[in-house]
Structure 1
Amino acid sequence: MKKIIIFLFASFMLNSCQSQKTVTETKNTEISKLTDQQLMDKVQKDALKYFWDYAEPNSLLGRERYHEDNIYPQNDKHVVTTGGSGFGLATVLVGVERGFIPRDEAVKRLNTMMDFLAKADRFHGAWSHWINGETGKVVPFGRKDNGGDLVETAFLTSGILMVREYFKDGNAEEKALAQKCDELWKGIEWNWYTKGGEKVLYWHWSPEYQWEMNFPLQGYNECLITYILAASSPTHAIDAETYYQGWTRNGTYLTDKSKYGLPLYVKHNYSEEYGGPLFWAHYSYIGLDPTGLSDKLIKNYFDLNKNQVLIDYQYCVENPKNWKGYGENYWGLTASYTRNNDGGVGYTAHQPTEDRGVITPTAALSSFPYSPKESMNFLRFMYTQKPEFIGSAGPFDATSIHYDNWFTPRYLAIDQGTIAPMIENYRTGFLWKLFMNAPEIKQGLKKLEFKSEKYNIK
């Protein structure tokens, strides 16, 4: 009798595994038949789930992280991320524009978000890096980082402005939403963050620790959008001198170095040989269109970003550390979760000078405007050849073929939030048009002597 039971159980398990294998193979075959456009639709829809299905339940803003393995540090499911929520706003707009989510439902959600932000802790108009989604109170990002975070505020504000522009000519409820966005934007005291009039912006200010974080925003990294918004503010603007003295370091951030025959144009902070982690080509450019964009020092921001991305790609193809899997279909280094030496999960800013054999999907996927062929190869490879790397909200945050197909079944808002917007900018320029056509942005760019024929900025 016992042998019969064992035989029946073994037969059941074998049939179950075979059935599951058949389902997986069928699903992979179906995905492999998708056109490029359909595959881009799919990954955009998947990434949208992070901000639509997994939003913080009270504020409806983006949670700092979502873990499918249900392991959360410090039980932080109510921790809202300011910058990631800005990318989330852009993602929601993509969802509305593409018909993935109903417009009226999005408007209701966005109203809840703006009402929450209006009541949340602010520090001379700037929000903190993290906010408690239930109370609106600051959640310290670090011991002294418990006040205003100007860079995270900039990423959020970029999204707020795009929401305003998208709905400002709509029905009564949509116009009311746009007005809320406008008031939030005008309440940010960008010039306060010059620490009493210095010709540079500072990242942090805390009522308890004042300027002790002491982090001036100097290029080149992900912070360009902070200066663009600060110069564009209709209420608390900085002058052009602050941009050129502070951000460009009086022009000394330029370089004549190249890698793989590709000019770098600027000295990427901490990584002058290869360029920094790829999020530097994404965060500031969710709304800011680099296409043909120039200022007094940079002839074309698109070339700057494109070269950084292609240098990263060429590095992964060259694969000097001989990581298994690296190549034309599997590439992209940027900040994300990582695999620690002990096999545990950590966090680091992956880049050629900090390469741990971990590929972060958002790196290639958010680079579509700069590397459409290479990014599409990566996208198709992930969905057809590495289904284990795909979760309910798209590709997981960090992966490694080298370490026996290791991945972390987790998501971060700042990584998942750039995927749908940057793919949409590649496809239609949708978000770029919204942001670049905002009247204040046009004026701010002119003040800083930026030029763009595409948007008639001269």
Structure 2
Amino acid sequence: MKPRDIIELEEKLCFEFFWNEVSKSDEGYGLILDNTRDKDVASIASVGFGLSGIPIGIEHGWITKAEGRERAKRTLETFLNNVEQKEGFFIHFVNMKDGKRTWQSEVSIIDTALFLMGALTVGEYFGGEVKDLFEQIYSRVNFPWYLDKENNQFYMGYSYERGFWGHWDKYAEQLMMYFLGVASPTYPVEPSVYWSFQRDIGNYKDYELIYTYTGSLFTYQFSHAWIDFRKITDKSGVNWFENSVKASLANWEYCKEMHDKYKTLHEYSWGLTACDSPSGYRGDFGAPPSANNNTQHYVDGTVPPCGALGSIVFVPEIVEETVRYYYEKVPQLWGKYGFKDAYNLDKNWTSEVYIGIDKGIELLMIENYLSGLIWDIVMKSEYIRKAIKMLEMEEK
């Protein structure tokens, strides 16, 4: 198969994960599995990606517009009425049947943001009642409540047991939080919060960029799934899209460099990011530049297909050849919903799980690569337009 055909097939199977692995219960309708191993647990981030996939399914003819509207409407009703929340922020992991807290999970600002971007997408796409539901949910989010006023940074997390902890004090996947926060119609934060996190600059080979703590690729991808940063530059001169191009290339170069140490890492098998692994889920896999320049602790030879596929808008030619390699040379990676989460040749291991946020970043980035659909929908939103203006970003 040609790389384009493989990519299109992978996109369809990613969509089927979100369309099929969904709750149909009265109280939990529309909740989507966090992963296929834990059949009772939904992730609100997974729902955000799944909602965003509905317009993709419609435009490709995989579902009807009526089916998509019904799924979007009833899912947003679930979040408005049933999913556990505090000050408008939702619990990260909830029970599939009733939307109540599971795993003593946190009240999560980043996962709420991921959900809200999906809700915004379907609201903008369908308009009418779906958009009204999004606006009711969005208007309820009390962004200043999650802000540490002393340093003007959002807290990293909040739980009933611990209260607030940590801060979003460095660059990562959180750019969407500032867009949503400053544009809130009811509880906004000041644009200055965007300037409150550190922008640490590092190098790997020829690539100089603002790096994230672990160098995991998802941190350079998630906000870009919805917000089209290609022609946006902030007043300090930073173009976050170009920064993610450099991060993707650095990750690719690092994996090529590490081939002598790990059989799984090479020119056609790369993209270190959070994923399943032989030792369980790991959120710290990544490549330099990073806070610790990725010592042995951050690499064990595990490679997830979502790492490269999530960067398809940044380095398309490299990803096309990577996808061909996975499909033709690593047949054990392929399953019901396309590429499984990860593999590791050094440990003779292949994941048997599909993870919502990993299939989600693939789904959205593939569609943006193919058509720009998600970018086109989201960038028309009055709230995104307002945020760009408030953050004093220049569009070319």
TM-score using structure 2 length: 0.92
Q: How does 1:27-426 map to 2 (within 5 A)?
A: 32=1, 35-58=2-25, 59-67=29-37, 76-119=38-81, 120-142=83-105, 145=106, 148-168=107-127, 175-195=128-148, 199-207=152-160, 209-211=162-164, 214-244=165-195, 246-247=196-197, 249=198, 253-255=199-201, 257-264=202-209, 266-269=210-213, 271=214, 276-319=215-258, 322-340=261-279, 345-352=280-287, 353=294, 354-404=298-348, 406-426=349-369
* 1:113 Cα deviation from its structure 2 partner: 0.8
| Contact 2:264-2:302 at 8 Å conserved across structures | no
Residues 99/141 of structure 1: CA separation in 2 closer, same or farther (3 Å cut): farther
Aligned to 1:10: none
* 1:208 Cα deviation from its structure 2 partner: 5.0
Q: Point out 4+ residue stretches in structure 1 off by more than 6 angstroms.
A: none
In structure 1, distance between residues paired with 2:268 and 2:200: 32
Aligned to 1:441: 384
In structure 2, distance between residues paired with 1:78 and 1:258: 43
Partner AA of 2:167 in structure 1: P
Extract unaligned runs of 5+ from structure 2. Answer: 288-293
In structure 1, distance between residues paired with 2:321 and 2:358: 19
Partner AA of 2:389 in structure 1: K
* 1:45 Cα deviation from its structure 2 partner: 0.5
User: How far does the alpha carbon of each residue in 1:173-211 deviate from its partner, in whole angstroms, 9 at most, with x for none?
Assistant: xx2122112211111111211145751112333455432
Partner AA of 1:151 in structure 2: I
* 1:83 Cα deviation from its structure 2 partner: 1.2
User: How far does the alpha carbon of each residue in 1:315-362 deviate from its partner, in whole angstroms, 9 at most, with x for none?
Assistant: 11122652114222211110011113xxxx443421131111111110
Residues 320/43 of structure 1: CA separation in 2 closer, same or farther (3 Å cut): closer
Local SS of the residue matching 1:417: helix
In structure 1, distance between residues paired with 2:237 and 2:41: 38
In structure 1, distance between residues paired with 2:21 and 2:237: 40
Residues 439/206 of structure 1: CA separation in 2 closer, same or farther (3 Å cut): same
In structure 1, distance between residues paired with 2:39 and 2:364: 24
* 1:242 Cα deviation from its structure 2 partner: 2.0
Local SS of the residue matching 1:339: coil
Residues 234/318 of structure 1: CA separation in 2 closer, same or farther (3 Å cut): same
Aligned to 1:11: none
Local SS of the residue matching 1:202: strand
Partner AA of 2:32 in structure 1: G
User: How far does the alpha carbon of each residue in 1:129-155 deviate from its partner, in whole angstroms, 9 at most, with x for none?
Assistant: 11222122122455xx3xx21111001
TM-score using structure 1 length: 0.80
User: How far does the alpha carbon of each residue in 1:24-58 deviate from its partner, in whole angstroms, 9 at most, with x for none?
Assistant: xxxxxxxx2xx443222201011112111122343
* 1:91 Cα deviation from its structure 2 partner: 2.0
In structure 2, distance between residues paired with 1:350 and 1:307: 18
| Contact 2:303-2:342 at 8 Å conserved across structures | yes
In structure 1, distance between residues paired with 2:95 and 2:259: 43
In structure 1, distance between residues paired with 2:231 and 2:57: 27
Partner AA of 1:216 in structure 2: H
Alignment RMSD (CA, Å): 1.8
Identity of aligned residues (%): 25
Partner AA of 1:260 in structure 2: K
Extract unaligned runs of 5+ from structure 1. Answer: 1-31, 68-75, 169-174, 454-458
Residues 285/234 of structure 1: CA separation in 2 closer, same or farther (3 Å cut): same
Partner AA of 1:77 in structure 2: K
In structure 2, distance between residues paired with 1:159 and 1:279: 17
In structure 2, distance between residues paired with 1:309 and 1:361: 13
Computing the radius of gyration from Cα coordinates, the structure with the larger value is 1
Local SS of the residue matching 1:410: coil
In structure 2, distance between residues paired with 1:320 and 1:176: 53
Partner AA of 2:176 in structure 1: I
Local SS of the residue matching 1:225: helix
User: How far does the alpha carbon of each residue in 1:88-118 deviate from its partner, in whole angstroms, 9 at most, with x for none?
Assistant: 1112221122212222112111122111111
In structure 1, distance between residues paired with 2:42 and 2:264: 35
Aligned to 1:12: none
In structure 1, distance between residues paired with 2:277 and 2:230: 32
Q: How many residues align?
A: 383
